[in-house]
Chain A
Amino acid sequence: MRPEFFGIIRSPFLWGVIVLFAVLGQWASPYHLGIATQTMLYIALALAWAIVGGFAGQLSIAHNVFVALGALLASALFLRLGINMWVGLVLCAALSALIGVFFAYLDSKFSLGHLSFALVTLAFGEVGMLIVAGWDFVGGASGLSLPRDQGRLLNFEFGGARGYFWAALALATVYLLINYAILHSRLGFYLRTLRDNEAAAQAVGVYPFRNKAIAMAISAAMTSVAGTLYARFSNFVDPSFLASPTLSIEIILIATIGGLTTPLGPAVAAIVLVPFSELLRGWLGGQLPGLSHIIYGFLIVAVILASPRGLVPLLVKIFRQRGGKDVATISMQKGA
């Protein structure tokens, strides 16, 4: 692990921001708290995806399968078999990791290029949705309703809106640290090398399958865990959303808009896009249905045009012009 990582985890700024969010959660209204929780969960999902999509450069469109496993299977295990959701969380994360390794195996076995890998995972994403819709054990297309939260932490209940916000904030924080840890570890270097030139990486002794499989397993397990928390937060586990490949696209969009070269990218993009989308629909959705989608679309197009590499690189550029230096700059200079 490079010393930069330890610098990050000792950073008063990072912990200051996290504590600020945590404290704000104490006073936020239930509506804003709900949006903030969703934002944190999207940060977690986007960070989990960025490990394969950003560091390894593999455009996986099957991450909805891992969300569905974490959300639906863990809920079904609890509702149908009485298996504690903490245990379900671990089982589903392990199963997701195995499926992730299988994707990496397919990639290695058939030497799939980036485009082929994306198409293969898209197919798995669609198949995953169809399996969920036709599998009664996980509720089929009707989904599952979890019992009311009574604040029993041992039963994976976090005691209402505020509890879920703090849980999601903790998860997003852990995921951010994991991303930084990978970025500054040997695995992170191997993944970036494989992303940039796989043949050259192999020539210097980097094993594609092993490293991609590890990345995929970590990413899949993290996605599954976020899915389980999403399910418990929303109480009703809706397969048309949580198992849909559209969710994969949303996650990719957030990670890409933020910028894939630094863990801050997905986090910043989620903090901007998720509340913006929700608040905009709240303000305009009633009077002018659809207008909020148009404005949201324009924002995304504007960001892409202004900074094709993402929002964070754009912010970095602005800071640089003002003579400042920030974490993203340094991350990119020394890591990505």
Chain B
Amino acid sequence: MTVLGHLRCVRLLPALAAIALMLLPVAGKAEDAKTVRIGVLDSMTGVFSDFGQQGRPAFQYVIDKVNKDGGIKSMGGAKIELVLADSASQAGRAATEARRLITQENVSLVVGVLLTPEMLAVSPIADEFKTPVLSHSAAGARGDYMFSMGLPYDRGYAKTMVEFVQELNKSHKFNLKNVALVYSNYEAGQQVNKALQRRLTEAGFNIVGEVPLELQSDDQTAAMLRLKSLNADVALGQVSPRNGTGLFRARYSLGFFDTVLIGGTAGYTDPVLWKDLGDKIGQAALTRNLFGFAFSSTASRTPSVQKLTEELRATAKQGHDIGQSAIQGAQAARLIQRVLELAGSTDRDKIKAAFEQVKIPSGDADLYLDRVGGLSFGPDHMPNDSTGVMIQWKADKSQDIVYPAQYATAPPSAKK
């Protein structure tokens, strides 16, 4: 008798049966002709949970409105049913959940915050199962079925920031020449940094040094001291919310406000900064010599954005102030409504074709982004108009848009 032969197999059978059951396919749920099932995959936990926690309620709010207003008209008033999932801010987990939503929950499309690494992990699954996926904020769209409302690192982030610096010099006499690059040392921060280096060099700026910020670090005093030692006129870069909080706390502690800080997105522009820093530090560190790059801002004078902002603020679940993630979430919901109206079907290929054709023009009541070119997708499945806005904080925690000029609510002001 072998060693394993001693095992009383029968006693293990229930356990093995349980494991076997987990592996067995679950029968696909019957699709109701009057509903469109949409998978919602956001980072609700983990390091990037701020994006999901803000974006999802706004997304759900708009979808509820769509359903109350009669659903998808081209599909006989079909209601949208949301199947919620959490990516845990991890690319691998996002892929697993995307697979579940598509194959187990039988959704017609997947939408979610899906930052760039999550998008890259999900795109092979989208292609494999030929299911359209819409990301709120990925900087690219890989594969045939992936679309993103986010801004590309180069022609979105870097181009807007560099052109803003040029505008400050040209029209507002800032005289910024020496540039330091301050960025969160992760995927997005590095990619924006590379694009900034190239564009700044081409534009004739002098790059005096780099200050990478460790993503998991809360104390950025050393980084701020390094920035101080560089004697830069301006610091540019993509900064995460956690790094932003650390950076501004250090700025306040060291009383160092000389260098103009320009960057984003959430690390410079999210209302959560005020909550984390407190009013005293916030007023001192956020309202001086700081400009934030954002996808959109609640400061917009565009009627559709103002109306949306009022509605979201009035919603019970939105107890705190709202930021760009909420606007992105609401915009994604309106975009999906348009796409489904165009597709007139839950067929995934028809939905994909509708994504390629959809356009929400500037001035439309369903456009919540300040973009002259409206919202539509190019051949790369990214927005044709990928211009962001630059904001400036005010002492009452509200924002002014300072760039581009056609959407500006106030001129940029230097205050040391």
Contact = CB atoms under 8 A, between A and B. Distances in A.
Interface of A: 4, 7-8, 10-14, 16-17, 20-21, 24-25, 27-36, 38, 133-134, 140-143, 145, 148, 160, 234-236, 238, 240-241, 271, 275, 278-279, 281-282, 285-287, 289-290, 292-293, 319, 322, 324-327, 330-331
B269 to A, nearest CB: 22
A281 B88 contact: yes
A148 B127 contact: yes
B127 to A, nearest CB: 7
Nearest to A144: B120
Interface of B: 2-9, 11, 16, 19-20, 22-26, 40, 44-45, 49, 52, 83-86, 88, 90-93, 95-97, 99-100, 103-104, 116-117, 120-121, 123-124, 127-129, 142, 185-187, 189-191
B6 A142 contact: no
Contact of A322 (B11, B83, B104, B120): B11
A286 B83 contact: yes
B97 A234 contact: no
Contact of A285 (B11, B23, B88, B99): B88
Q: Which of B24, B85, B120 has the most CB of A within 10 A?
A: B120
A34 B96 contact: yes
A142 B90 contact: no
Given A234-B92, A286-B83, A289-B44, A34 B99 contact: yes
A326 B8 contact: yes
Contacts of B8: 319, 324-326
Contacts of B23: 21, 24-25, 27-28, 32-33, 36
Q: Which of B16, B22, B84, B124 has the most CB of A within 10 A?
A: B22
A4 B3 CA distance: 7
B86 A17 contact: no
Contact of B3 (A8, A29, A33, A319): A8
A330 B6 contact: yes
A11 B3 CA distance: 8
A271 B19 CA distance: 8
Contacts of A38: 92, 96
A1 B5 CA distance: 19
> What is the predominant secondary structure among interface residues of chain A facing chain B?
helix
Contact of B121 (A236, A279, A285, A327): A236
B196 to A, nearest CB: 15
A71 to B, nearest CB: 11
Contact of B187 (A33, A142, A148): A142
Contacts of A21: 23
A241 B90 contact: yes
B349 to A, nearest CB: 19
A113 B276 CA distance: 41
Contact of B100 (A7, A14, A282): A282
A143 B40 CA distance: 25
Given A7-B4, A236-B124, A319 B20 contact: no
B334 to A, nearest CB: 22
A319 B88 CA distance: 38
Contacts of B121: 234-236, 238
Contacts of B186: 133, 141, 240
Contacts of B116: 142
A32 B185 contact: no
B88 A330 contact: no
B40 to A, nearest CB: 7
Contacts of B127: 148
Given A271-B19, A281-B88, A319 B24 contact: no
Given A29-B26, A287-B84, A13 B4 contact: yes
